[in-house]
Amino acid sequence: MSLSSPSSFADRCARADGGITRVQGIEVGHYTDARRPTGCTVVMARAGAVGGVDVRGAAPGTRETDLLHPTNLVEQVHAVMLAGGSAWGLDAATGAVQWLEEHGVGLDVHYARLPLVPAAVLFDLGVGDARIRPDAQAGYAACAAASSAAPAEGNVGAGTGACVGKVFGMARAMKGGIGTASVTVDGVTVGAIIACNALGDVLDPDTAQVVAGARSEDGRQLLDTRRALLRGDAPRPILAGSNTTIGVIATDARITKAQAHRLAVVSHDGLARAINPVHTMSDGDTLFTLGTGASGKTLGMMTLATMAAEATALATLRAVLCARSLTTAEGLHLPAAADIAAP
């Protein structure tokens, strides 16, 4: 049976309840490289935001994560950079620092304003020419494009070269992407933006139905990686660190640094609802949190945590629903969720 028609997938992608920019004080900008499928995405909080992070995958590529630990000195950061290009892509954060400094954004360290920009990268080097990856110029361009408008989703920014469902080889994988979602309760909003380049499948978090992931040997149907592994199908050898889902969860609630860290931790519950398998030895799954406090309100952590996990799960789903199929010059074909039948 068909999982869905292409038009219904387009409809589901268009019917957004709102993305991370519904959070007061948050802007998002993408840079998409026209030379090959790669790019970067900046999530900016010009006035500063309390930051947190939680790394669950075993093969992360990150920058400035230690300063976000609740016991360390710095309270606020000014942006988070998400990028393709594996470790090379971390250079995109340098461009963000330059742009923010030029615009007077940063921590006052007496002699200058120092922008603080943590970052995380995903591995998209197998999609097109690996010599092309996001650099400082790309990060600068993403900042210049940032706004509070609803962010583009799918094959843009850090999600441009993302793919999912690689347990049985790249030839049976599908197109990933970047997605965003938000939840509002009592005047407080929690939003997420997720670049999904998972080793595993992506599921609808409400139905647990596989939406995108590893395909059958003929490439025409979704395989369902979890069930395939449990019945004894052997995974293909996987290059360590060649996957990773990265993202930012932001709220305009007033939160402490310890609470920001806890929201990053529980947001991974949203990933676990939408990706299976997740947090593997070949993923570097990393989620950041930003608290702008711009609503002037607080909510109990039970509610905020539930909102954070929900927004993360929905944004992960939208990352593949909004993706489009891709064929590289080298002949790699990555169909989108709308193109493949259900298992």
Closest-CA residue to 194 (of 110, 282, 108, 272): 272
pLDDT band at 87 (very low <50, low <70, confident <90, very high): very high
* pLDDT at 111 exceeding the cut of 70: yes
Residue 2 pLDDT > 50: no
d(CA 6, CA 13): 11
* 262 inside domain: yes
Least confident of 52-61, 99-108, 203-212, 300-309: 52-61
Q: Is the pLDDT of residue 145 over 90?
A: yes
Q: Chain-wide mean pLDDT for the chain?
A: 93
Q: What is the mean pLDDT of residues 20-33?
A: 98
pTM: 0.94
- The pLDDT tens digits of the residues spanning 256-276 come to 999 999 999 999 999 999 999
Domain range spanning residue 313? 6-339
7 has pLDDT over 50:
no
Listed in order, strand segments (DSSP E) in the chain are 27-32, 39-55, 62-63, 76-83, 107-108, 113-114, 119-121, 163-164, 174-175, 177-185, 188-196, 201-203, 210-212, 245-251, 275-276, 286-291, 326-327, 333-334
Q: Flag whether 184 is in a domain.
A: yes
Considering the chain, what percentage of its residues have pLDDT values greater than 70? 94
| Range in 13-22, 155-164, 172-181, 189-198 with the lowest mean pLDDT | 13-22
Q: What integer is the mean pLDDT of 230-244? A: 84
Residue 58's φ and ψ, nearest 5 degrees, are -90, 0
% of the chain at pLDDT higher than 90: 85
For the chain, give percent helix, strand, coil, nearest 5: 30, 25, 45
> Which position has the higher pLDDT, 14 or 307?
307
Helix (H, G, I), strand (E, B) or coil at 13: helix
What is the distance between the alpha carbons of residues 305 and 300, in angstroms, rounded to a whole number? 9
Minimum mean pLDDT range among 49-63, 92-106, 137-151, 308-322: 49-63
Q: What is the pLDDT of residue 59?
A: 85
Question: What value does the mean pLDDT take over residues 22-41?
Answer: 97
Lowest mean pLDDT among 168-172, 240-244, 314-318: 240-244
Domain count across the chain = 1
pLDDT on residue 4:
40
Whole-Å CA distances, 137 to 40, 91, 94, 239, 253: 11, 9, 9, 28, 33
Residues 46-71, mean pLDDT to the nearest whole number: 94
DSSP state of 178: E
Region 246-256: mean pLDDT is 98
pLDDT (mean) for 160-188: 96
Q: Could you tell me if residue 1 is inside a domain?
A: no
What's the CA gap between 233 and 225, in Å, rounded?
Answer: 9
| pLDDT score of 239 | 73
Nearest-angstrom CA–CA distance, 8 and 14: 10
pLDDT tens, 217-226? Answer: 999 999 999 9
What pLDDT does residue 238 have?
75
Averaged pLDDT, 144-149: 97
Q: Is residue 123 part of a domain?
A: yes
Say if 45 falls within a structural domain: yes
Q: Do the domain assignments include residue 100?
A: yes
Is 187 a domain residue? yes
Q: What is the CATH number of the domain that holds 294?
A: 3.60.70.12
Q: Are 107 and 43 in contact (CB under 8 A)?
A: no
Distance CA 295, CA 187 (A): 7
Classify residue 328: in a domain, yes or no: yes
> pLDDT by residue (tens digit) across 192-236?
999 999 999 999 999 999 999 999 999 999 999 999 999 999 898
Please give the distance of CA 212 from its chain centroid, rounded to a whole number: 16
